[in-house]
Amino acid sequence: MEYDNIIDEIFNRVVTSKPLIKDRDVLRSDYVPDRLLYRDDEIRAVAESLSPLLKGSRASNLLLYGKPGTGKTAVARYVLKHLQERARRYNLNVALAYSNVKNAKREYTVLVQLGEAIGLRFPFTGLASSEIFTRIVNHIDEHGIDTVFVLDEIDFLVKKHGDEILYQMTRANERLHKGSLGLVGISNDLNFKDLLDPRVLSSLSEEEVLFSPYTVEELRNILMDRAKLGFNEGCISDAAINLCAAIAGAEHGDARRALDLLRVAGEVAEREGADMVEERHVRIAEKRIEQDKVSETLRKLPLHEKLVIVSVMLSNKGSTGDVYDTYISLAKRLGVQPVTQRRVGMIVSELDMQGLLYAPVVNQGRYGRTKRISLAIQDSLVREVLAEDPMLAVLL
Ligand code: ADP
Ligand code: MG
């Protein structure tokens, strides 16, 4: 009888509660809205760099950079979309290829993606990157295509693979008789320019645009716009929107962060069967996002880092020596080759910097100084995430 009541209550809530979210996709961070606020100058600069394409000339190379969530991707995609429409309308021989290169394991993947975007097909295997690039250049030349490659999150590509591929791209025009290749590089890392060979930098940054962080007020209006599209009328309070903007603004003016808060707060409120999204849902969303981030970091740690975390958890505010002893015994149980104590000390410092451990140095009077190492995150979270690893599950 009691259970019947509980179940009735849950079902009633689902049936009677109105959905708060109207369009979930609009609230995602890869959605490009029809209207971008506060980015007129940036849109103009990008449009001007690319506009030579409309007259059959080469687009200027362009570097967009700024902190995450400052609208770089949105502005680039927005201008590309409009340019593509024009090109189609005027029947121009223009090809615009966008690629987010962050997760590319090899340069090969990037080149294949860009090549395919301009109409090439490649066999499944067996081509070297240099061969793919040659085919791309030949294709552009043969068909006289004015091409733009947009390389988003280009800093990751360069950090992983160096800037040789960019060098080749910036030199491609010298090999072309017809058609052209313009580059748009987008970087979240403000120091990205230091990674580039001066020759590559000077060609890539023929033009450059720096995106500055949004103020709280700007974030608020960006969210208001988005909330109108994403939520049903009257389903989100101004106070909730203000709080999302305030939290994201206090960090570094990151619109993606603000939107994530808004979306997750909406999901929290909906699941709760609330009539509208309120400030407290944003607070819960903030915690949930933070936890997800920590879980993700934990999950990605290499084995010995994970073992050190477990050792810290088991040795309860132990010294470096205690943690090492526990670590050795865990390694033995798993039958893995342990690393040195020095290395464990370094891992502890790294995990401390990542905010996973807390390792202050304490004075022990005449016994000298030592570290007292503890978890900076919840035990339960560590257990939950690390137990997903079948090898570690036996320890937990
Ligand atoms: P970046 O590429 O600089 O990291 P994005 O362009 O991906 O940032 O922007 C993050 C999110 O914020 C996206 O969902 C985007 O639509 C939104 N956004 C960013 N700037 C604006 C803006 N000026 N107006 C409206 N939405 C914006
Ligand atoms: Mg981006």
Per-residue model confidence as pLDDT tens for the chain (396 residues):
577 788 887 777 666 667 899 999 999 988 999 999 999 999 999 999 999 999 988 999 999 999 999 999 999 999 999 999 999 999 999 999 999 998 788 888 899 999 999 999 888 777 888 899 999 999 999 999 999 999 999 999 998 888 889 999 999 999 999 999 999 999 999 888 898 999 999 999 889 999 999 999 999 999 999 999 999 999 999 999 999 999 999 988 999 999 999 999 999 999 998 999 999 999 999 999 999 999 999 999 999 999 999 999 998 888 889 999 999 999 999 999 999 999 999 999 999 999 999 998 887 777 777 888 999 999 999 999 999 988 888 888
Indicate whether residue 73 lines ligand 1 (CB < 6 A): yes
If phi over 0 gives left and psi between -120 and 50 gives alpha, with beta otherwise, what is residue 378?
beta
Indicate whether residue 255 lines ligand 1 (CB < 6 A): yes
Indicate which ligand has the atom closest to the C-alpha of 248. Answer: 1
Cβ atoms of residues 219 and 253 within 8 Å? yes
Cβ atoms of residues 40 and 46 within 8 Å? no
Terminal alpha carbon distance of the chain:
38
Indicate which ligand has the atom closest to the C-alpha of 210. Answer: 1
In whole angstroms, give the CA distance from residue 370 to residue 361.
Answer: 5
In whole angstroms, give the CA distance from residue 267 to residue 386.
Answer: 26
In whole angstroms, give the CA distance from residue 390 to residue 386.
Answer: 9
For residue 93, give both structure tokens: 């021989």
Q: What angle do CA 44, 45, 51 make, to 5 degrees?
A: 80
Q: How far is the CA of 62 from the centre of ligand 1 (A)?
A: 19
Give the 3-state secondary structure of residue 128: coil
Indicate whether residue 263 lines ligand 1 (CB < 6 A): no
Q: How far is the CA of 21 from the centre of ligand 2 (A)?
A: 25
Which of 34, 229, 256, 262 has most ligand 1 atoms within 8 Å of its beta carbon, as the pocket-test mutant? 256
Q: What distance lies between CA 242 and its chain's CA centroid?
A: 24
In whole angstroms, give the CA distance from residue 236 to residue 242.
Answer: 11
In whole angstroms, give the CA distance from residue 310 to residue 308.
Answer: 5
**Contact partners, residue 166, CB within 8 Å, separation at least 6:** 151, 154, 158, 183, 185, 196, 200, 204
